[in-house]
Chains A and B, each alone.
Chain A
Amino acid sequence: MNIGVFVCHCGSNIAGTVDTVAVAKAALAYPEVVFATDTMYACSEPGQAGIIEAVQKYELDGVVVASCTPRMHEATFRRTVERAGLNRYMFEMANIREHVSWIGKDKDANTNKAAELVHIAVEKLRRNTELTAGEFTINKRVMVIGGGVAGIQAALDCADGGLEVVLVEREPSIGGKMSKLDKTFPTVDCSSCILGPRMVDIAQNPNITLYTLSEVESVDGFVGNFDVKVRRKAAYVDWTLCTGCGECAAKCPSKKTPDRFNEFIGKTTAINIPFPQAIPKKASINAAACLMLTKGKCGACVKACPAGAIQFKQEDEIVTEQVGAVIVATGYDLFDFTQYGEYGGGRYPDVITSMQYERLLSASGPTEGHIKRPSDGKEPKDIVFIQCVGSRDKSIGRPYCSGFCCMYTAKQTILTKDHLPESQSYVFYMDIRSPGKGYDEFIRRAMEEYGARYIRGRVSAIQPKNGRYLIKGVNTLMGDQVEIEADLVVLAVGAEAAKGAPQLAEKLRISYDTYGFYMEGHPKLKPVETNTAGIYLAGSCQGPKDIPSSVAQGGAAASKVLGLFSKDKLASDPQVSSVSLQRCIGCAKCQSVCPFGAIEMTQFRGMTKASVIATVCQGCGNCTSACPQGAIQLSHFTDNQILAEVHALCPY
């Protein structure tokens, strides 16, 4: 076998702390290495051309590139050797950047380590065999989890591209956080007027199956062939009969039910349609508040319903959907400010969240768009807005900026002035962060045209005083203390990961960060992909985002799915396990450790043997570690290859 070794400088990334010439020279001493060189950028056009030229000139049978992590460029170099006429699996990569040059400053030690990593790669390559990818068919349906604006955009774009879409939403209606907003920045256009038609499109699109009041129960399978179980929670109303007339809610005697949609400002009924534009416009029963379901007597809604749709005996239902890809668009939740004692810890009725204020501003909200204090229903005159509540605060484990609070606070001051021309708004801020088209101009408008008074500093205490509130804080620009008396305090609560986000991530086998936001495939180059093939992200589940960004990501995720589904078959990875029938004793240990259900036990001449379903196998190698006989081997990572690597490192 003729092996060629290419040691990449990666500019100064590697060459700065590794003697790449020395590494190439050392490589020439390794068995079967007939050619070794250093190269400025192996991944560049001339770098790849150099590899191809060497393969042809020295009649190489395999190539080692010592450069960066295989994550990015393994695919690049596999294509390179293929273009040179070799099998794409006759290639190995030694990571001398992330594993060497970026983590150590001692050039001699680094050079030695890099040479050893190259040696390991050479020993493995010597035992590589040519592998050929198979093909498998894919199911061209897509599931979108989460029916906020990002999920809606993704679902509509997929459906417009001709795909069958299953949209799953946890709440009774789609619409997400955007459906709770009164207006949007920086255009101050009505949120439900721009979102509403999109929601209707979802309901009317024949390609979209909508499951609301539903949650993903489990996810099995792999890219192209996922089996997703969805729990459709009991609404206690037969939605095939319900016409959305609302007679039931009008007659329901449980009129003091906490109103989730209105952020618990105001009350609703136990059976209700959350808001006028709800999609689907169907009633559902809050079981905890329903007299019939808790105490066994009432039934007012049954009498009121002209369609006979009420079904107290309805139970959760599990449906299984086969899809080829999943777009996760589960959004965010709002920070619970009650852990801030200085803002009253939730004890003061007129200290509310920005989302609650949004409901007060909304014409379909509990006050029909009149700004009234929750405590006494009076119109406020002085309103204090406090920004960064639960953002940029290490002490409560939220060091990140939520990104959109500066903008929505400015919007709320503008709307406040529109609603109450005699009012005065004050905004306590840390910094104004308004990068975006027309965003900073919008903040200026709030200050200059609408007279919002911006005070740079934090608030130390909110204290009730004569039916109003005394807000004590610091003005860091003036270097002075400030005290403002106000009728209403609005806290710009930050964004945090949606409740249950980590649990869903476990089901989907995607990763999430410290705060529960989902990890994209690459922070710059794969913003909507995940590291699990066939699963994509859209919107705030990946990190706090405003509406335009969420919509853009929804569309981007849809385009990725359409791209994936543009092929009828996907190439299967040939790096899968296979069983040696002679060695297998049928103990089924491999089956018990396989996380993908890729191993089945079969009968062979009256004996039980393991068998790998190649299209399901993900090449994790659990089975090879578990097999007591060494009967099951993972192609490209056989026991012999791994032992050869170890021997290269520890020859004695």
Chain B
Amino acid sequence: MSRRYAYYPGCSGQGTSREYDSSTRAMCQELGFELIDIPDWNCCGSTPAHAVDHLLSASLVARNLAIAEDMDVEGIVTPCPSCLKNLKTSQHRMLRPEFHQEVQRVLGRAVRADLPIKSVLQVLVEDRGIGWIAQQATAPLTGLKVVPYYGCIMNRPPDVMRFDDPENPMALDNLLTAIGAEVLPFALKTDCCGASLGTTRRDVVARLSGRVLDAAAAAGADAIVTACPLCQMNLDMRQAQINKANGSSHRLPVFYYSQLIMLATGQQGERVGLDKLCVSPFSLLESLGPQAGEVRS
């Protein structure tokens, strides 16, 4: 049974996290989700919009919601927690009738703002179930020691996001266990990586992301698994910078969970996008055994 969702790719998916976008699309196809791109979608406004003007932020979001409302779908999904937070927060704010009307005035059209908005991770866990996903893992990632890193906004604020525990989320833990990985306890799973301060205050990212890397290594992880493009970028692309700033020498691959699900269901190739990762995961994957090792080809 296929489920139809409107897909909001987010701008990172067009650039820095192409492999997240492509592996998410491929994963959803394999697991029976029909993702239909919201036609002519626009940017959610990201941090700058809501930092200066809630009306601007909500209006940017509402345009996407309005288009999706014409699409005959169950809801809207996005892989990016930051987009998710903007979509859901704006929807939440539009529960206030005056604000809702104001947004419609700016937009020049009606928007109900009542479609369910969820992360891809949430629909995976809720629509399909962990047990079912475990059955699809024909090439389980046995021997891969990972820590799940949810980032700071996937589950927060809890009243708006309404998914998993805000302090100790377990969705990713359970999912990764289901596909055969060894998931280690990780206290920093919802800590901040430094987020967009990577462009303005690299020292902050070096400290905060450095901590996440230190803790992952101390826990004995071979790799970190994320569900957020910005977290992944800070931990992966900036890992060398962080090493330099902190005098550390981490070489921890930082996967998107969608990439690992693809591997565990026996999928490989360009859609998985492992070659896009800055810290190469190939020697790690080869060390796991012949099956996983074939991914390089």
Contacts and interface: CB of A to CB of B under 8 A. Distances in A.
A345 B168 contact: yes
A341 B168 contact: yes
Interface stretch (A134-142, A193-201, A305-313, A460-468): A460-468
Q: Most chain-A Cβ atoms within 10 A of its Cβ — which of B167, B191, B215, B218? A: B167
B187 A464 contact: yes
A465 B168 contact: no
Interface in B168-190: 168, 187-188
Contacts of A341: 165-168
A342 interface: yes
A463 B187 contact: yes
B167 A342 contact: yes
B173 to A, nearest CB: 13
Nearest to B169: A341
Nearest to B189: A463
Contacts of A345: 167-168
A466 B166 CA distance: 24
Which interface class (under 10, 10 to 19, 20 to 34, 35 or more) fits B? under 10
B147 to A, nearest CB: 13
A341 B191 CA distance: 13
A456 B162 CA distance: 31
State the majority secondary structure of interface residues on A: mixed
Interface string B235-262: 0000000000000000000000000000
Interface string A48-84: 0000000000000000000000000000000000000
A85 B14 CA distance: 96
Contacts of A342: 167
A151 B218 CA distance: 53
Which interface class (under 10, 10 to 19, 20 to 34, 35 or more) fits A? 10 to 19
Interface string A446-488: 0000000000000001011110000000000000000000000
Interface in A339-355: 340-342, 345, 347
Interface in A314-344: 340-342
Contact of B218 (A340, A347, A461, A466): A466
Interface in B184-228: 187-188, 191, 215, 218
Interface string A573-617: 000000000000000000000000000000000000000000000
Q: Most chain-B Cβ atoms within 10 A of its Cβ — which of A340, A345, A465, A466? A: A465
Nearest to A345: B168
A227 B112 CA distance: 63
Contacts of B187: 461, 463-465
A384 to B, nearest CB: 15
A647 B224 CA distance: 80
Contacts of B167: 340-342, 345, 461
A465 B166 contact: no
A463 B188 contact: yes
A631 to B, nearest CB: 58
Interface string B129-166: 00000000000000000000000000000000000011
A347 B165 CA distance: 14
B165 A465 contact: no
Nearest to B166: A341
Contacts of A466: 218
A466 B168 CA distance: 20
A507 to B, nearest CB: 38
Contacts of A464: 187
A570 B168 CA distance: 61
Contacts of B168: 341, 345, 347
Q: Most chain-A Cβ atoms within 10 A of its Cβ — which of B168, B187, B215? A: B187
Nearest to A341: B167
Contacts of A340: 167
Contacts of B218: 465-466
A347 B191 CA distance: 17
Q: Most chain-B Cβ atoms within 10 A of its Cβ — which of A340, A463, A466? A: A463
B31 to A, nearest CB: 30
A245 to B, nearest CB: 46
A461 B168 CA distance: 11
A346 to B, nearest CB: 10
A356 B191 CA distance: 29
Contacts of B215: 463, 465
A580 B215 CA distance: 85
A463 B188 CA distance: 7
A465 B214 CA distance: 10
Interface in A222-267: none
Contacts of B188: 463
A245 B168 CA distance: 48
A340 to B, nearest CB: 8
A466 B218 CA distance: 8
Contacts of B166: 341
A345 B187 CA distance: 12
A340 B168 CA distance: 10
Interface of B: 165-168, 187-188, 191, 215, 218
21 contacts: A340-B167, A341-B165, A341-B166, A341-B167, A341-B168, A342-B167, A345-B167, A345-B168, A347-B168, A461-B167, A461-B187, A461-B191, A463-B187, A463-B188, A463-B191, A463-B215, A464-B187, A465-B187, A465-B215, A465-B218, A466-B218
What are the 10 closest A-B residue pairs judged by CB atoms, nearest first?
A: A341-B167, A463-B187, A341-B168, A342-B167, A464-B187, A341-B165, A345-B168, A463-B188, A341-B166, A466-B218
